[in-house]
Structure formats: C-alpha cells, structure tokens
Amino acid sequence: MKDPYGYRPYRGSRVRRRGIIINTLLGVAIAAAAVWVLCLLLPLDEGGLRFPGQGEGGSSVSDGPDTADSGVQGGSPSDTEGTGPAGSPGQDAPGGTPENGTGGAPGGEGTAGPEPAKPLAGPPAAAPDSTQAPVRFGLRKNPEKAEPLWGALPKSPKDNRMVLVSAEDFARETDRLLALFESGAITGVAVTVKDERGVVYYPSAIPEIQDKPSILQPAGGFTDAVSRLRSGGVPLTAVVYTHCDDRYSRIDEDLAVQNINGVGWRDGAMRIYLDPADEEATAYLAAVAAELDALGFQELLLRGLGYPSSGWLARIAYPEDRFGTVTGFVGKVREAVQTARVSVWLDSPDYAVNSDTGQAVKELYETASRVFAEVPDGSSAQALQAGVAAAAGGSGKLVVCTSDTLAALPAVLLDVPLGQLS
C-alpha cells in the first residue's frame, strides 16, 4: 500500500545503510594513509621499524661486548673461519727482487737470508697543526681524495702454491708450516688476521679496541710464529677483512654504511658494514694495515672490500660524490704501509658493483698488486681466468683459490687442511 504522501516505504533505511558503508570506506582509507605516512617518517629496513639510534629489539646500540657480538660468541678462529681465497706473495713478492730470487717460487734462483721480524709499531704521527683535521689511530684525516690508480704493475706470479690457515693454526702449526715450505709443498703462508666479523687475531696496539674483547682476540704465540717463519724465509700474507666488519661498526653506527633513513644498513643476516667513504673507518683500517706491515707481513690481502653486494641494496644511502671511493681506500692503505704490497679479493670476476666507486673488476685489477678469486661452484679455473680476462683485460695477476692440491696453475692458493699437504 502506498504512503499517502507518495513516498516509498523504507527509503530512509536504505539511505542510512549507504551512509554507513561510505563512512566505513572513508575510515579505512584514512587509516591506510596514516600508516603510509608513518612508514615514510620512521626508518624501516631489514631490521624492522626502528627509531633513529635504536638497535635491534628496541635497545640502543652500545659499544660494549654484549651488543657488539650480535649474539656471536668470540673466540679463536677455526680452520673454517675466513674460508675462501687469501693472498700470498708470488715470484715478485715484497721484500725480494727478481735478481735475488726471493718471493717464494720453488726452484727459483738464489736464496733469501733470514730476515728478523719488524717491531710492532704504528705509522708515524704528523706534526700538530691546529688548522688541519684531528688525528686518530695515528693517521691524519685527509679530506683530499687519493689517486685511484697506479701505473706500476708487478710481473705475473709464477709457480706458486700458497696455503690459507687460521690465526690459531698459524701459531700452533709453525713447525709443520716450516717443514712444508722447506720440502717445496708450499711456497708461502696466508693467515686470516681479521675475519669477516671484525675480530682481530694479532696483538694490535690500536687504542680504540684495547677495551673491546669482542674485537681484539689475539692468538697466543702469534708474534713468535711470524718471527720464526720470516726467519725461515717463508713469504707471509695477512688476510684482512675490511668493510665487512660487524663489530667495530657497532662501536659507533655513524661509521657504518647508512640506509636512506640515516641509520646503519643491515643485510639479510642483520650485519652492518663499515662505510668505505667514512674517514674514521678508513683511518682504523689503515692503522691495522700499518701494524701488520711493521709486524713483518710482505703482502696484505684486502677482503670484504667496498659496499655490500647482496641484500636490499636500494636502501643504501651512497654518498653523492662517490667516484673512486673504493680505489681511493686502497690507495690510502698503500700510503699507510712501508714495504708490504696491497692485493685485493674479487667477489666476482664478471659482476661489476658500483663501478663509479672503483668497486669493479677492471678498476680493482689495475689498482692492486695482485687479485685473488675462488673458483665458482660448477665452474673451472680456466673459466675463472677467462672471466677475469674479459672483465679486466688480463688475468696475469690472478691467484686462484682452490681445494685441488694437484691444480697446475700459475698461482694457486690452497684452502685445505694442512694434513692434506705433503
């Protein structure tokens, strides 16, 4: 029956329901917009939503050993720590010349006389100058950029079989290493002195890490082992992880690679990295290099070099003026040492990362004394050499890391237990 005034029944109820639906949709849209604005204002990275200066779990990042570990217990390295390629001096290694035959190639002409280990000492301090930047780690900060490339390239290494050991085995198995060298089974030793976590295994005197037991964990007898092996004529290479350093970067997260929100960038394993463009981080790593040079190492192999190459890379806040950052860092390490040669580890022979920073195969190949790379899974040493030659224009400076003790290559780094060598 029609309403006497001509209106259809229940029209008001439909209008109210329609209004409720519209209001609900508007409320949902407003809430979504608020969440979006919140995500823009607060840092959100792999570690979750965190306020600036706040570490994982909502706690502030401190420099104590508990937070620096990120849950990893410290200790001496095992044979599996720092696995992968490591450096070794070749035919033209530091401390020797082609004329006297030093450098570790078996069957070479001439012999190297015993050379005493150098005393542990930092780099010389510059004269005070109030107009210059402050000095830390015994090195003066220099805002001027170092030249990224050098013209002097060493000769390609010849028959060369190095062995990679942990700092603990280096100090404990000194007699066996000497015997292997004297028998011709190896031509030199590479030892991991600073691993991928940032732990330092030699007796460093750098003041900033003296009260950091999570960082400074020297292996017992390390200095004596260096002295004995050097006296025996064994070429020594120190393997140093550089920017891949989760522990020192947690002392002050401002030294770390930053994300776009101004806090330390995290990879998938929640590790942070030292920033290649940060002057204090560079000064610390250069001080480590200077100590190892003074200790008697003839070659420094820089691993974990440059910006991260995996993870949420789009979140990294790269510096605006980043040209030559990585090659410039290698140059500052070379300036910090007196005699040791500086070599680098190539993460991949065919993957160029941040080529404008110098973190690419060609730039690193031209910059370093030698380059080291591991044979990829399912590949061969010949394919690795071809990849380096294609990316860098040559592979004559390449040292191949392998577990094949019978590999017949110009330069080989054996990553195997000492018991497999004879």
DSSP 228-291: HHHHTT--EEEEEE-S--TTHHHH-GGGBPBBTTSSB---TTS---B-TT-HHHHHHHHHHHHH
Predicted confidence at residue 12, as pLDDT, reads: 53
- Complete DSSP assignment for 346-411: -S-SS---SGGGT-SHHHHHHHSS-EEEEPPTT--HHHHHHHHHHHHS--TTEEEEES-TT---SE
pLDDT per residue as tens digits for the range 63-102:
443 333 433 333 433 333 333 333 333 334 333 333 333 3
Please say if the pLDDT value at position 57 is more than 60: no
Cβ neighbors of 110 (< 8 A, separation 6 or more) are: 99, 100, 101, 102
- Once rounded to an integer, what is the mean pLDDT over residues 316-341? 86
Predicted confidence at residue 253, as pLDDT, reads: 87
Please say if the pLDDT value at position 158 is more than 50: no
Predicted confidence at residue 372, as pLDDT, reads: 92
- Once rounded to an integer, what is the mean pLDDT over residues 274-292? 94
Q: Judge contact between 256 and 270, C-beta under 8 A.
A: no
Cα–Cα distance list, 131 to 140, 141, 143, 145 (Å): 12, 12, 13, 18
**Residue 328: closest CA among 362, 292, 277:** 277
Predicted confidence at residue 143, as pLDDT, reads: 34
pTM over 0.75: no
Q: Please give the structure tokens belonging to residue 76.
A: 């001496």
Residue 41 CB neighbours (<10 A): 8
**Residue 240: closest CA among 180, 200, 280, 295:** 200
pLDDT per residue as tens digits for the range 205-264:
999 999 999 999 999 999 999 999 999 999 999 999 999 999 999 888 889 898 888 888
- Once rounded to an integer, what is the mean pLDDT over residues 320-325? 74
Yes or no: domain 65-420 corresponds to CATH 3.20.20? yes
User: What is the pLDDT confidence band of residue 43, given thresholds at 50, 70 and 90?
Assistant: low
Q: Judge contact between 285 and 274, C-beta under 8 A.
A: yes
Q: Coil, strand or helix: which one is 181?
A: helix
Phi, psi of 124, rounded to the nearest 5 degrees: -65, 140
Give the H or E element holding residue 333: helix 325-336
Q: What is the mean pLDDT of the chain?
A: 74
Please say if the pLDDT value at position 314 is more than 70: yes
* CA angle, 69 then 72 then 76, to 5°: 100
Predicted confidence at residue 404, as pLDDT, reads: 83
